[in-house]
Amino acid sequence: MTQVDTEETGQGSPADTGAPGTGAGAPAAGTGGTWRARIRRAIRALSGPGPWKRGLVLAALALVLGLLMLLHAQITDRGGLGSLVETFLPWFGLFVPVLLAAALWRRSASAVVALLLPVTVWLSLFGGLLGDKSQSGGDLTVVSHNVGAENPDPAGTARDLAASGADVLALEELTEEARGTYEKGLAKAYPYHTVQGTVGLWSKLPLSNTQPVDIKQDVGPLGDTKPAEVKRAYNRALRTTVATDQGPLAVYVAHLGSVRVNPRAGFWTDSRDRNAQALGEALAAEQDERVVLLGDLNGTMDDRAFAGITSQLSSVQDAAGDGFGFSWPAKFPVARIDQILVRGVEPKSSWLLPETGSDHLPVAAGISW
C-alpha cells in the first residue's frame, strides 16, 4: 500500500526526480527534445525565404543567358565581340545544366522557371541540328578539306581523300612544296584539276571557265597593296564550271582570311570579313542557277559576317546533316568553319570524313538535282 501511494504522489521515481536511469520517464524526456527540435526547424523554415525568393541571382543569370542567345545579333561587333559570341553560340547551351543543378541545390523555383527562356531559345536556334536529316541517294558527292600547310603527311592525306569516292574535291591551304604531292596522289582518281594560288579543285568530270576570284587578298592589314606576283601566289579563291550529266554546275573554292584573338585588338576578323564581303559580291554576280561553294571560311554560318553569303546560299549541314558537324580543330572539334553551301541543287546528306594529317576535318555532302 505504501508503494502505490508513492507512485500516485509522484515521489521516489527516478524520472520525476531527474536522476539518471532507464525507467519510463527517460524516453518521454527524449521525445520532448525531439519535438522541440522539430518545432525550431519549422520556425526557421517558415521565417526564411520561400522557393520563389531563393536563388534570385541564379534566376537573373538564366535570364541573361537566354537574352544573350536571343539577341546575339544586337551585340556590338567592336573588337569582334559579336563574331566571337556567334562563333561559339551553340556551346552557350552548356550553361543550362550548370544553372539547373545550382537551382535544384538551392531549391529555387524562380531559377528553374527562368531557365525556360535559354532552353527555349537554344532549341529554336539549334534544335533542328540534333536529329539526322540525311537522305539516301544523290547525284554528286563533293568534299572540301583544308589540308593544312603544316601537314606532315600530304601523301597520306591525298590517299585518304582519293579513297573517299568524292566526285569533286576542293583543297585549301596548298603550299608550293606539297602541291606536287597532291597532284601525283590524286591524278589517277581525278583526271581534271586546277590550282589557283593556295586553293585547288580536283574532279572526275570536265572543268571549264576556270578563273581566280578576287576576294581582296591583295590588301594587307595596313591597307598596303601586295605586288602582283605575290597576289597570284597567294590567291585564295577560284571559280570553275563542272560539266555534269544534268548540266553545268558552278563551283567556288575559297579560303577566307584567318581570325586572331589579340589581347589588344580582341577577336580580329578584318581580313576574313573583307574576304566574305567580296565573295558574296562574286556570288551575287554569278549567272549559273546551280552553285556550290566549298571552302574554309574561318567562321560559322551563325556569324553575321557571312550574311552576304548565307542570304544567297544554304548550308548543307543545316539542311541534311547529322548533328553539328564541327570540323575544327581536328583533335577536338568545337566549331564548323569548313563549309559546303549550295544554290539551285538539293542537299541530300552531309557528313565528316576521318581525320587526316591536317588540323581540320574534311567535310562532305551529297547533292541532287
45 pLDDT exceeds 90? no
Distance of alpha carbon 156 from alpha carbon 181, whole angstroms: 10
Q: Are 282 and 309 in contact (CB under 8 A)?
A: no
Residue 43 within a domain: no
pLDDT, average across residues 306-324: 97
- CA neighbours closer than 13 Å in the CB half-sphere of residue 126: 19
Amino acid residing at 275: N
362 and 235 in a common domain: yes
Does 313 lie in the same domain as 292? yes
Looking at 83-92, 94-103, 223-232, 345-354, which range is the least confident one? 223-232
pLDDT the model gives residue 35: 82
Residue 344: alpha-carbon gap to chain centroid: 26
Element (H, E) at 164: none
In this structure, are 192 and 62 located in the same domain?
Answer: no
Question: Residue 164 and residue 191: Cα distance in Å, rounded?
Answer: 16
Instruction: Please report whether residue 36 resides in a domain.
Output: no
**Has residue 117 got a pLDDT over 90?**
yes
pLDDT score of 266: 81
Q: Which of 75, 107, 129 is the last residue of a domain?
A: 129
Nearest to 197 by CA among 181, 168, 167, 218: 218
Q: Tell me which residue has cell 545579333.
A: 73
Domain containing 241 equals 140-368
Quick one: 347 and 233 in the same domain? yes
Mind giving me the DSSP string for 249-316? Answer: EEEEEEEPPP-EEETTTEEE-HHHHHHHHHHHHHHHT---S-EEEEEE-SS-TTSGGGHHHHTT-EEH
Of 129, 149, 165, the residue that ends a domain is: 129
What average pLDDT does this structure show over 179-204?
98
Query: Domain for residue 16, yes or no?
Result: no
The residue count for the chain: 369
Q: CB–CB of 331/321 below 8 Å?
A: no
Residues 108 and 151 in one domain: no
Q: What is the pLDDT of residues 206-217, one digit of tens each?
A: 999 999 999 986
Neighbour-count burial for 285-305, b at 16+ CB within 10 Å, e otherwise: eeeeebbbbbbbbbbbbbbbb
Do 125 and 176 fall within a single domain? Answer: no
In a domain, 11, yes or no: no
Instruction: pLDDT band for 228, please (50, 70, 90 cuts).
Output: low
My answer on whether 253 and 306 are in the same domain is yes
Q: What share of the chain is helix, strand, coil (3-state, %, to 5)?
A: 40, 25, 35
Provide the pLDDT confidence category of residue 53 given band limits of 50, 70 and 90.
confident
Instruction: Pick the more confident residue, 358 or 28.
Output: 358
259 torsion bin: left (phi>0), alpha (psi -120 to 50), beta (else): beta
Q: How far apart are the first and last CA of the chain?
A: 112
What cell was used for 103? 537551382
Residue that the C-alpha cell 552553285 belongs to: 291
Instruction: Specify whether 92 is located in the same domain as 220.
Output: no
Within 10 A of 92 (CB to CB), how many other CB atoms are there? 19
Task: Give the mean model confidence (pLDDT) for residues 108-117.
Answer: 97
Quick one: 277 and 146 in the same domain?
Answer: yes
The reply to whether 113 and 164 lie within a common domain is no
215 and 357 fall within a common domain? yes
CATH number at residue 261: 3.60.10.10
- Could you tell me the pLDDT band of residue 5, with boundaries at 50, 70 and 90? very low
| Degrees, nearest 5: CA angle 231-178-221 | 30
Choosing from 78, 103, 129, the residue where a domain stops is 129
Q: Considering Cα of 208, then 142, then 353, then 282, what sign does the dihedral take?
A: positive
Residue 204 placed within a domain: yes
227 lies in a domain?
A: yes
- Phi, psi (deg, nearest 5) at residue 354: -60, 160
Give the type of residue at 312: Q
CA distance linking residue 279 with residue 19, whole number of Å: 95
Of 170-174, 226-230, 275-279, the one with minimum mean pLDDT is 226-230
Q: Is the pLDDT of residue 339 over 90?
A: yes
Q: Do β-strands 291-296 and 247-255 pair in parallel, antiparallel, or remain unpaired?
A: parallel
User: Is position 44 within any domain?
Assistant: no
Residue 223 · residue 273 · CB < 8 Å: no
Q: How far is C-alpha 92 from the geometric centre of its chain's CA atoms?
A: 10
The tally of domains found in the chain comes to 2
Same domain for 119 and 236, yes or no, is no
Residues 6+ apart with CB under 8 A from 30: none
User: Which 8-state DSSP code applies to residue 198?
Assistant: T
359 domain-assigned: yes
Task: Tell me if 315 sits within 8 A of 324, measured CB to CB.
Answer: no
